[in-house]
Structure formats: structure tokens, C-alpha cells
Amino acid sequence: KQASCVQYRLVVRDANTLQILQLYTCLDQIQHLEWSADSLFILCALYKRGLVQVWSLEQPEWHCKIDEGSAGLVASCWSPDGRHILNTTEFHLRITVWSLCTKSVSYIKYPKACQQGITFTRDGRYLALAERRDCRDYVSIFVCSDWQLLRHFDTDTQDLAGIEWAPNGCVLAVWDSCLEYKVLLYSLDGRLLSAFCAYEWSLGIKSVAWSPSSQFLAIGSYDGKVRILNHVTWKMITEFGHPATVNNTKIVVYKEAEKSPPLGHLAFPPPRAATGPLTSSESKYEIASMPVSLQTLKPAADRANPRIGVGALAFSPDNYFLATRNDSVPNAVWIWDIRKLRLLAVLEQLCTVRAFQWGPQQPRLAICTGGSKVYLWSPAGCVSVQVPGEGDFQVLSLCWHPSGDSLALLSKDHFCLCFLEMEKGVRMAFGQRGDCT
């Protein structure tokens, strides 16, 4: 099922046929939309009004409205059981936990305003929350079933930037803000398992990712390197640098190239097709010969948040691959082989890589660059797919269907679904447009 919203309307469609299943009307413009884990409810946050509206798929007449009143609302999310909603008030004064099944409400004070301050274990049992009180960072672990505090401990961080549970739910990674390179690993019962610091003085961690097996913790930092820690000793196994030149015949470098139209096609007067969208020029991948030098961006040293360092990291669901993006080489995606701990392939796009996501079932990486194409990589090779339809469809972000068979592509005000069929290749179903937020 697929939900989209148009201004103040919420549209639920079938993910295969794109038929409209439900239509809900909210009070104001929807700014955030989230499915509950059991897909029975949809949460629509209207931050401007401090309102959250919840709709049920099973009972269309059922509705729920939560008003945060003058406290305001900046974030809203589901708890993993799909029966509680966590609302963060303005200025991070507190987090309110509303229950859909009992008339209870709980408050959590002092949540920290940071990059990733709230994280649930994958089994939905525990919630870890970053807190800040008396100029010190704390982490509280709550039991999600009754929202009881299980553990509360302070972390040895200057300015905590994020927390993340390992997928097995037993280890919590805590990292400091970019001013200091520091990763702390805590057990579920609040013991400090290990601390890791790669270097001092310069800017530190930019991104962190757990491998799905909880075996590795990949840390991308501002020095353009990814460091991988193991789960036994919590020490570094390896370090992946992102050099601007690749000179190793074992590494495959895919270079996206514009497919120039055949010369005979350029007839005078130009045919009508040519007057159409210019952006529909096709592209393909070429395997570049070694050595390859990648386009690098010279970072402005005098600006805050410089475009350097590893800004995005993602493990494939089978643990075999790690995709990274170095922000100073914005057009390239590096794919590393985790079994051999070495670089496997580099994809150099024509435009800046906006987002990438691994397919949930198979090691397939979907990449979008803000153009009208979507790119897919798998160990067998890679392909660039043009989004059909007239007009400029700028793929700004993408999202896999849990089955891994289809892919939702989002532009500024349209979306479409891309179906992957093994025999025929890629079929693109252009969804009925809707304004997406």
C-alpha cells in the first residue's frame, strides 16, 4: 500500500495497481506522514498547527486527533508497537507519549535536540533517548511496553550528536558531535563496552551505520575515511579511504556517459521529438580504464559544514556490501566488499548523488541524482533507467518496497513506482501524480 498526500488530503493507493483505496481529509497541510509498523494506521503531522491526526485503514470512520496546544510540535513518530505516538514539543521541552489504546499519556523531559536522539531497537522492545540536563549528556533506556525507565546513565561526550541501536538490540552506539571524534558503545544494561577515537583536533564523525548482522559498525568521518569496528573487541578492523584516483585493476569503475544520438538523426529541420524535453537524453555506463581520477570538489574551508567527509553509509541487507559517498567527490558512490574488506566498484555519475538505498531482499543499490534517471547497481553490473513520461521528473529521493520488487521515486511534486521484473528488466509504472510532501 502506498500513501500520498495532496495538501490536506491523504490518499492511500495499492502498491501494485495504484488504485485509490482510501481518502482522508486532514485539517491542514500535512507536513509529515508515517505508517504504523503493523500498517493499520497512518499518522499525519501538521506541525504548523501543533496537530497530529491518525487514520485507521481498517475502520475508515475511526479517527484520532492529538493537539499539543501551545507547546507546539516539531516531530512526531510511531512507537514500534503501532499504538503509541511520540510527539516532540517545540524547543525540545519534552516528549509526549500518547497511547491509542488506553487513556494514558506519559511525558519525557529534557530530550536532546540533536541529529538522531531517539532510537528504537529493531524488536520494538526498547527505546533509547538522548537527554541533556545540567550541560551533560545522558541516555535513558525505556521499555516500550509500559514506558518504564530501565536504565539512565550519563555518557562521556562533549555534545552528543546521535545514538543508534545495533540491530540485535544489545549494543547502543553513541557518537559525539563533529567537533570531536568519539564513539561510545554501551550495553543494554548501561555498561560502557568500549570507546573509540581515531584522531583528535580535526572534525570528526559524519555518519554511522550498523551492519544488519550487528557485526560491524561503520563510521564515516570528515577525513574522508570509513572505519569499521568489529563486535568482539570493538576495535578497528579496517579503514577505507576514498582516494580521488582509483588505480587498481581489480576495481571496476562505472562511468555514466551521455548516449549521444546517432548523427544521421540530426535532420534539418529538427524532428519534433528533438524539440521535446532535452533532459530525456539517454545515458549508459561505461567501464573506465585504470587509472581513473574522479571529479573532486574543492571544499570551502571558511564555511561551516564543509562538503568533505563520508556523509552517507549503507550496508546491504545481506551484510556483503557497503555503499558510501564521500561528499568531496559528490558524483561517486563507492561500493565495498565486506567479505574481502576492499573496494569493489565505484560508480561515477554525471550529477551529484542525492540518495541511495539498498534493496531489502537482494543486494541491489538504487541511486538517484536529482535527474530524470534512476540507477541500479548489483554485483552483476549496473544500469541506468530513464523515468518515462513527458516533463521533467527529477528524482530527489527513493524508497524500496519491502518486497524489493518495486521502488517508489519521489520528485518535488510527483511520485512514480518502478517495478523490477527479473526477466524483462525494469518496467516503470508512472503513478498518477499527486503532490507529495
Would you tell me which residues interact with another protein (CB under 8 A)?
A: 38, 56, 61-71, 81-83, 91, 93-94, 98-110, 125-126, 132-135, 143, 146-153, 158-159, 168-170, 187-191, 193-194, 201, 230, 232-233, 235
Which residues lie across from 85 on neighbouring strands? 78, 98
Matching residue, cell 541511486: 367
| CA 425 centroid distance within chain | 25
Pick the closer one to another protein by CB: 171 or 333.
171
Pairing of strands 355-358, 373-378: unpaired
Task: Extract the C-alpha cell encoding 56.
Answer: 485507521
Least separation, in Å, of the C-beta of 1 and another protein?
A: 18
Pick the closer one to another protein by CB: 155 or 394.
155
Pick the closer one to another protein by CB: 53 or 369.
53
Least separation, in Å, of the C-beta of 89 and another protein?
A: 8
Least separation, in Å, of the C-beta of 328 and another protein?
A: 23
Matching residue, cell 561500493: 335
Pick the closer one to another protein by CB: 134 or 423.
134
Spatial separation of the C-alpha atoms in residues 16 and 228, rounded to whole Å: 39
Pick the closer one to another protein by CB: 125 or 433.
125
Residue 104: Cβ within 10 Å count: 11
Least separation, in Å, of the C-beta of 30 and another protein?
A: 18
Least separation, in Å, of the C-beta of 104 and another protein?
A: 5
Pick the closer one to another protein by CB: 83 or 414.
83
Contact (CB, 8 A) for 146 and 99: no
CA distances from 258 to 281, 288, 335 (A): 7, 14, 22
Least separation, in Å, of the C-beta of 152 and another protein?
A: 4
Spatial separation of the C-alpha atoms in residues 133 and 113, rounded to whole Å: 12
Pairing of strands 373-378, 84-88: unpaired
Task: Extract the C-alpha cell encoding 278.
Answer: 532535452
- Which residue type, as a one-letter code, is found at position 38? D
Least separation, in Å, of the C-beta of 377 and another protein?
A: 30
Pick the closer one to another protein by CB: 12 or 57.
57
Pick the closer one to another protein by CB: 144 or 346.
144
Spatial separation of the C-alpha atoms in residues 363 and 358, rounded to whole Å: 6
Least separation, in Å, of the C-beta of 227 and another protein?
A: 14
- Exposed e or buried b for every residue in 292-328, given b needs 16+ CB within 10 A? bebebeeeeeeeeeebbbbbbbbbbbebbbbbbbbbb
